[in-house]
Homo-oligomer: A and B are copies of this chain.
């Protein structure tokens, strides 16, 4: 756990000492990967959009795939970092009176993250099916670390009588399904007249009722 935290901190901070051209490359690549996909984006296009020579890309990234991983891997960690970092981000470690309060805090927190990282998250989701390393990384982190932490939380509220006696894995699945559906609607479908507060209230009420005992 100590080691993991160290590695994560490194990854999360590793964008400080970059050249301007390097940052341009990452930005251009992210934008095009999100738009056309990794396989359909050529390194010459990236170089052109970043305003650098094509050789410059390969000075910093051994291969095109290496460039993808440099973009995607840190973001994958940051997506789930609140669930596995105990010290840095305290959001999910406070004890909330009700499960609904915990849910609301989690949604707000991850929504803020999404607002700032929409494109990269899009790349992560789009590319995971095509790159086994990414899939394995994701399964390993979410399937082990996140599941472990979340299970404890669920059991806590089950002991308080707020959640029915359902396997924590099922609770996790339903909660994340509904929240992902909410985010997908907000960011992809983007309906007109979207009342965020109201939607979140309804979402939480739905989850709380669905998971309540009896």
> B-contacting residues of A (Cβ < 8 Å)?
36-37, 39-40, 122, 126, 129-130, 139, 143, 166, 169-170, 173-174, 176-178, 180-182, 184-185, 189, 191, 199, 202-203, 206-207, 209-212
Copies of this chain held together in the complex: 2
A176 to B182, CA, bound (A): 11
Contacts of A169 in B (CB 8 A): 191
Expressed in whole angstroms, the Cα–Cα distance for A143 and B189 within the complex equals 9
Rounded to whole angstroms, the CA-CA distance of A170 and B170 in the bound complex is 21
CB contacts (< 8 Å) of A182 on chain B: these are 173, 177
The contact of A37 among B39, B177, B202, B203, by CB within 8 Å, is B39
Closest 5 CB pairs of A and B: A177-B181, A210-B210, A39-B39, A39-B40, A206-B210
Please indicate the chain B residues that have their CB under 8 angstroms from the CB of A130 in the complex. Answer: 36-37, 40, 126
